[in-house]
Chain A
Amino acid sequence: MGQKINPLGFRLGTTQSHHSLWFAQPKKYSEGLQEDKKIRDCIKNYVQKNMRLSSGVEGIARIEIQKRLYLIQVIIYMGFPKLLIEDKPRKLEELQMNVQKELNCMNRKLNIAITRIGNPYGHPNILAEFIAGQLKNRVSFRKAMKKAIELTEQADTKGIQIQIVGRIDGKEIARVEWIREGRVPLQTIGAKIEYCSYRVRTIYGVLGIKIWIFIDEE
């Protein structure tokens, strides 16, 4: 088994853009990073808590943070933004209050926006959460992987590769299982590849899910 580099990090200069866009002087850079981490953790915990109440599949694809002098702009890309948009805009405000309390910065305004992604199952994070849910309910892993691939075929993807590692089906001996559909050119830097590595905690231990989705080629 070769050692594969994370395709997102591999393409950072060219086909991949950063999820945090801001500038800071070297002495203040780590404070900015800590703020970012607090924002992201706060949002994820909030969404997870509310998901348990409503039992929907709320997938956060990514969280983009842009910082300016007097404004912090957070854009949450979600697959199914039901809870946070439709019911009441109160949930969004609650989220904003929580994050602001975490940050406790008076001189900068915080603005949270939610964007819906076109094809939610074309994004590996959302797909990984879907597979994780299935594995927790002890669906056979082959079925879970094949169902996930069906979902991506409805979205526009040219290739997908899914890998599950660990105590599959609760067996004592851990193994690696993977399937691939279409083409996933990992060595081509010009190819846009989305990647996600996700951990599922089952009663038998932790399963690692890695998903590579080939979207487009320039």
Chain B
Amino acid sequence: MAKKSLIHWERKRQKLKQKYHLIRRSSKKEISKVPPLSEKWKIHGKLQSSPRNSAPTRLHQRCFSTGRPRANYRDFGLSGHILREMVHACFLSGTTRSSW
């Protein structure tokens, strides 16, 4: 089980990303539209002024049940080990062992 502080930092980043999502998107569109470079610097300044943790690239997928930062599958939001346990416990509808 990952440290609780790490899991909470991830949640904080997700909240900030939600909060600043529209602002960032509109700023990025403006940059691509406006031709002169000086204008681009100004808009870039706006982008930089939003907090770092609002950037979506800073998010890291974690397993929602254990918080493991590695071996995560986006389809399930789980790490491989927990995924295997849940499949065997018949909790994931439609999943079976594959063999062909």
Q: Which residue numbers of A lie inside 8 Å of B, CB to CB? A: 5-6, 8-10, 12-13, 16-23, 26, 29-30, 33-34, 36-37
A23 to B97, CA, bound (A): 18
Q: Would you call B32 an interface residue if the criterion is a C-beta within 8 Å of the partner chain's C-beta atoms?
A: no
Contact of B65 among A21, A23, A37 (CB under 8 A): A37
Q: Total number of A-B contacts with CB less than 8 angstroms?
A: 59
Do A19 and B91 touch across chains, with their CB atoms under 8 A apart?
A: yes
Q: Would you call B41 an interface residue if the criterion is a C-beta within 8 Å of the partner chain's C-beta atoms?
A: no
Do A20 and B92 touch across chains, with their CB atoms under 8 A apart?
A: yes
**Chain B residues whose CB sits within 8 angstroms of the CB of A16 once the complex forms:** 90
Q: Would you call B87 an interface residue if the criterion is a C-beta within 8 Å of the partner chain's C-beta atoms?
A: yes
Nearest to A36 among chain B residues (CB) is B91
**Given the known A-B contacts A10-B97, A12-B97, are A34 and B77 also in contact in the complex, defined by CB atoms under 8 Å?**
yes
Do B89 and A8 touch across chains, with their CB atoms under 8 A apart?
A: yes
18 A-B pairs within 8 Å (CB atoms) are namely: A5-B88, A12-B87, A12-B96, A13-B97, A18-B91, A18-B94, A18-B95, A20-B91, A21-B93, A23-B94, A29-B76, A30-B64, A30-B77, A33-B64, A33-B77, A33-B86, A33-B92, A34-B77
**Chain A residues whose CB sits within 8 angstroms of the CB of B94 once the complex forms:** 18, 23
A23 to B94, CA, bound (A): 9
**Chain A residues whose CB sits within 8 angstroms of the CB of B74 once the complex forms:** 30
**Chain B residues whose CB sits within 8 angstroms of the CB of A13 once the complex forms:** 96-97
A17 to B77, CA, bound (A): 23
